[in-house]
């Protein structure tokens, strides 16, 4: 790309691309391609002037060479541009803002007074009608204030004030909408990143795990318990209970069988189905996330609701104050000054923007939050309940040893276990599959339909024999499988968790799983105690011996071993009855009931899709420090909401007093009110952490 250097300083260079016009898409390609260069820290692209500013830490020669080699036609550069960048939206609002200001200048400086008066009357009808609609619905809200202020100004013949008020309201609407949509867009683009995989059925009947982006229309996906449906399609075989809450808001899973349509983003809670794909990759992930964010805004915290309700309750007081001021002073200008200031705009803009910004900041830290009320729940929590496996211990445990019975081959037993376990997303299942890969054991599908029993294990048929794999409770007690060698069985290594494999009613192997503790777990729990969490509880389905050792090492306040999913949920209910605020952290299908029961359910990102779907918050699996970060951001958000609340009330009351005193004319009050609303809205978009 040919370009001219306009200006440069240490670590910064501004160039102009030698082209007559730059499209929005070209600007996106330039921004994302140049941002991906090693040593480039920041890129700004101005499509109107074809200018590009680069901030860099590498050598100047590398930057010059990269600019000279840059091309819009480079497929690799174009592939870096996400589906939505926000540039087109920003451009549209910039154009709307410029158009509004330009038209105002023409209206004010060029048009004769009679024409301006006629236009003011015509424009006023929109605001007057909105006010009347509110009254007809029996509500006294901000549109009523706007309608009264404009109507009074027109009746008094004060067309300049009426025109200024309508102009400022129009500008305020554009800026409010732009600010809100930008916050939603920024958050959605942050959350829509990620790679998904899915099992597909090949023509020969085998199953292959492939990236979603490689799926073609007409392919058949196999979706089992705990897995998310990544693409829209129609079920061609199987039965499943599908959680559609992300699409429809239904809290109860819906039964789906052959012929039923299923939607991307929903989760199979129970059963399995084969789905013929009808919409391919890229079909609406961003849009689904935007919908989820918009739905999450309905999940307001009590602080948000308080501000919103106060804003509506203050409207009658503003109208009453206006009437009282006019009756006492007889001065319509002073009375109208009160109407120019309403609390609703700032309160109803700043609070949601604060929450969206906090959600965006959480997302950048690897934390996905589904609504403001869950951040408030984290800020208020005094009890945290941890699952053990995949949370306090690493999400990637590994196989330490495979102990076989009856002279069976160790490799064959591991191969069979991996063949069954690969279909269900859980940290222990992943460990078995990974160990088979490390040992170079290829495990072709040799079994019939796989059945998953929540919190217990897996069963299937292999060569006409029933094969089960899972916990001691499931294999030995529920399935009544026999133990061929009691001596070996009694001396199983106690430092490991055990996964039991049985064939035709007889234990064939025990897979020893080393469940290494997260190095940061003890420090994170200590931090949570320092941040006001008075009670940290660990609940696990593992045996008491393993649970006791983990509890001792991480220093939790109490632990419960060998618990079932319903036991975790019951414990949280009992805590609620005792008046405690509880958050639950888990990663498996068996944690789902407890995640639903908690004030805020937190899932680990590598866990089962159903856990992430049901959870209110999902944190990165990389480190538990995300929990401390979440608590800090939640506390900071509640502080910001309180600060916004007091600032808005105080500043706008000051404007009303100055208006009634005759110090500020109505147009100035309106200008300062809108400016303060925008300023508080912009501040609400800034980082919560200093």
- Quick one: pLDDT band at residue 281, thresholds 50, 70, 90? very low
559 found inside a domain: yes
571 found inside a domain: yes
Q: Report the interhelical angle of 332-339 vs 142-155 (nearest 10°).
A: 150
SS3 state of residue 510: strand
* CA nearest to 372, candidates 297, 288, 294: 297
Please give the pLDDT value at position 162: 77
For residue 232, the domain's CATH number is 2.70.150.10
64 found inside a domain: yes
pLDDT, tens only, 429-463? 878 888 888 888 876 655 556 677 655 678 888 88
Considering the domain architecture, whether residues 204 and 222 belong to the same structural domain is answered as yes
Is the entire prediction scored with pTM above 0.85?
no
Considering the domain architecture, whether residues 386 and 524 belong to the same structural domain is answered as yes
629 found inside a domain: no
Q: What's the rounded Cα separation, in Å, for the pair 297 and 619?
A: 20
Among 250, 268, 291, residue at a domain's last position: 291
| Domain count within the chain | 5
* CA nearest to 578, candidates 534, 638, 632: 534
Among 81, 101, 120, residue at a domain's last position: 81
Considering the domain architecture, whether residues 502 and 531 belong to the same structural domain is answered as no
pLDDT above 90 coverage of the chain, percent? 20
Considering the domain architecture, whether residues 306 and 185 belong to the same structural domain is answered as yes
Mean of pLDDT values over 384-409:
86
690 found inside a domain: no
Considering the domain architecture, whether residues 527 and 444 belong to the same structural domain is answered as no
Please give the pLDDT value at position 95: 86
Among 480, 514, 548, residue at a domain's last position: 514
472 found inside a domain: yes
254 found inside a domain: yes
Considering the domain architecture, whether residues 153 and 212 belong to the same structural domain is answered as no
Q: What's the rounded Cα separation, in Å, for the pair 188 and 133?
A: 34
For residue 610, the domain's CATH number is 3.40.50.1000
Q: What's the rounded Cα separation, in Å, for the pair 227 and 188?
A: 22
Mean pLDDT, rounded, of the chain: 81
Considering the domain architecture, whether residues 546 and 646 belong to the same structural domain is answered as no
pLDDT, tens only, 610-664? 667 677 888 876 788 989 999 999 999 989 988 888 888 888 888 888 888 888 8
For residue 449, the domain's CATH number is 3.40.1110.10
Considering the domain architecture, whether residues 313 and 434 belong to the same structural domain is answered as no
Q: Is 244 left (phi over 0), alpha (psi -120 to 50) or beta?
A: alpha
Question: How crowded is residue 586: how many other Cβ atoms within 10 Å of its Cβ?
Answer: 32
Please give the pLDDT value at position 194: 47
Decide if pLDDT at 523 tops 50.
Answer: yes
Considering the domain architecture, whether residues 180 and 202 belong to the same structural domain is answered as no
pLDDT, tens only, 91-137? 888 888 888 888 888 877 788 888 888 888 888 888 889 888 888 88
Please give the pLDDT value at position 282: 45
Please give the pLDDT value at position 537: 95
Tokens of 240: 């499943």
Query: Which residues fall within 8 angstroms of residue 333, CB to CB, at 6 or more apart?
Result: 662, 665, 666
Decide if pLDDT at 411 tops 60.
Answer: yes
Considering the domain architecture, whether residues 585 and 643 belong to the same structural domain is answered as no
Tokens of 387: 């699952």
pLDDT, tens only, 43-101? 999 988 999 999 999 999 999 999 999 999 888 787 777 767 778 888 888 888 888 88
Q: Which residues pair with 210 in a beta bridge?
A: 198
Look at 59-68, 173-182, 552-561, 592-601 and tell me which has the smallest mean pLDDT.
173-182
104 found inside a domain: yes
SS3 state of residue 194: coil
Please give the pLDDT value at position 580: 93
Considering the domain architecture, whether residues 403 and 502 belong to the same structural domain is answered as yes
272 versus 181: the higher-pLDDT residue is 272
pLDDT, tens only, 188-199? 555 554 446 778
SS3 state of residue 487: helix
Considering the domain architecture, whether residues 184 and 216 belong to the same structural domain is answered as no
Residue 307, domain extent? 91-189+299-353+636-684
Look at 98-107, 207-216, 366-375, 515-524 and tell me which has the smallest mean pLDDT.
207-216
Q: What's the rounded Cα separation, in Å, for the pair 143 and 348?
A: 14
Decide if pLDDT at 689 tops 80.
Answer: no
Asked whether 344 and 168 are in contact (CB, 8 A), the reply is: no
* CA nearest to 512, candidates 494, 530, 527: 494
pLDDT, tens only, 196-248? 677 888 887 777 878 776 788 888 998 887 777 878 889 999 888 887 765 55
């Amino acid at each position: 790309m040919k370009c001219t250097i306009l200006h440069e300083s240490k670590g910064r260079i501004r160039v102009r691309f030698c082209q007559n016009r730059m499209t929005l898409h070209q600007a996106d390609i330039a921004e994302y391609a140049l941002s991906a260069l090693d040593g480039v820290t920041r890129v700004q692209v101005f499509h109107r002037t074809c200018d590009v500013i680069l901030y860099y830490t590498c050598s100047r020669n590398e930057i010059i060479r990269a600019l000279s080699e840059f091309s819009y036609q480079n497929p690799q550069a174009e592939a870096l541009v996400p589906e939505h960048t926000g540039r087109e939206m920003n451009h549209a609002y910039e154009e709307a803002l410029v158009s509004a200001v330009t038209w105002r200048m023409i209206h004010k400086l060029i048009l004769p007074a009679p024409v301006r008066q006629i236009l003011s009357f015509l424009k006023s009808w929109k605001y007057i009608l909105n006010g009347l609609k509110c009254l007809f619905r029996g509500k006294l809200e901000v549109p009523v204030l706007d309608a009264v202020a404009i109507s009074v100004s027109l009746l008094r013949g004060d067309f300049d004030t009426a025109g200024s008020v309508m102009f400022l309201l129009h500008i305020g609407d554009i800026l409010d909408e732009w600010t809100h949509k930008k916050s939603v867009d920024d958050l959605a683009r942050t959350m829509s990143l990620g790679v998904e995989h899915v099992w597909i059925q090949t023509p020969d009947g085998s199953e292959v795990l492939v990236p979603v982006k490689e799926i073609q229309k007409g392919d058949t996906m196999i979706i089992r318990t705990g897995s998310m449906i990544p693409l829209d399609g129609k079920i061609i075989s199987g039965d499943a209970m599908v959680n559609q809450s992300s699409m429809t808001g239904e809290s109860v899973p819906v039964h789906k069988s052959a012929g039923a349509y299923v939607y991307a983003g929903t989760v199979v809670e129970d059963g399995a189905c084969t789905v013929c794909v009808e919409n391919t990759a890229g079909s609406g992930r961003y849009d689904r996330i935007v919908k989820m964010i918009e739905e999450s805004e309905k999940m307001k915290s009590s602080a948000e609701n308080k501000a919103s309700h106060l804003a509506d309750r203050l409207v009658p007081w503003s109208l009453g104050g206006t009437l009282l001021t006019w009756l006492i002073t007889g001065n319509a200008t002073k009375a109208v000054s009160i109407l120019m200031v309403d609390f609703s705009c700032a309160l109803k803009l700043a609070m949601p923007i604060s929450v969206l910004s906090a959600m965006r900041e959480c997302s950048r830290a690897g934390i996905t939050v589904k609504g403001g009320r869950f951040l408030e729940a984290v800020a208020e929590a005094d009890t945290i309940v941890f699952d053990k496996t995949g949370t306090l211990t690493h999400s990637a445990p590994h196989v330490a040893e495979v102990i076989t019975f009856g002279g069976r081959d160790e490799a064959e037993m591991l191969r069979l276990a991996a063949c069954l376990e690969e279909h269900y997303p859980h940290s222990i299942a992943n460990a078995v599959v990974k160990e088979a890969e490390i040992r170079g054991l290829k495990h072709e599908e040799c079994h019939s339909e796989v059945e998953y029993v929540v919190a217990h294990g897996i069963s299937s048929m292999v060569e006409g024999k029933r094969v089960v794999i899972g916990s001691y409770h499931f294999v030995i007690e529920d399935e009544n499988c026999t133990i061929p060698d009691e001596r070996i069985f009694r001396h199983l290594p106690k430092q490991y968790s055990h996964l039991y494999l049985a064939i035709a009613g007889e234990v064939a192997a025990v897979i020893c799983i080393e469940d290494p503790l997260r190095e940061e777990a003890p420090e994170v729990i200590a931090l949570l105690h320092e941040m006001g969490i008075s009670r940290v509880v660990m609940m696990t389905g593992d045996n008491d011996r393993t649970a006791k050792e983990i509890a001792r090492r991480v220093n939790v306040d109490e632990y419960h071993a060998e618990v079932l999913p319903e036991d975790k949920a019951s414990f949280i209910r009992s805590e609620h009855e005792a008046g405690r605020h509880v958050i639950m952290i888990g990663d498996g299908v068996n944690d789902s009931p407890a995640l639903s029961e908690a004030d805020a359910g937190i899932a680990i990102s590598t866990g089962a899709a159903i856990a992430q779907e049901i959870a209110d918050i999902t944190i990165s699996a990389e480190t538990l420090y995300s929990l401390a970060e979440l608590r800090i951001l939640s506390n900071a958000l509640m502080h910001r909401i309180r600060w916004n609340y007091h600032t808005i009330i105080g500043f706008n009351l000051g404007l009303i007093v100055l208006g009634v005193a005759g110090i500020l004319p109505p147009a100035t009050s309106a200008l300062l009110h809108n400016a303060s609303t925008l300023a508080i809205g912009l501040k609400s978009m800034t980082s919560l952490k200093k």
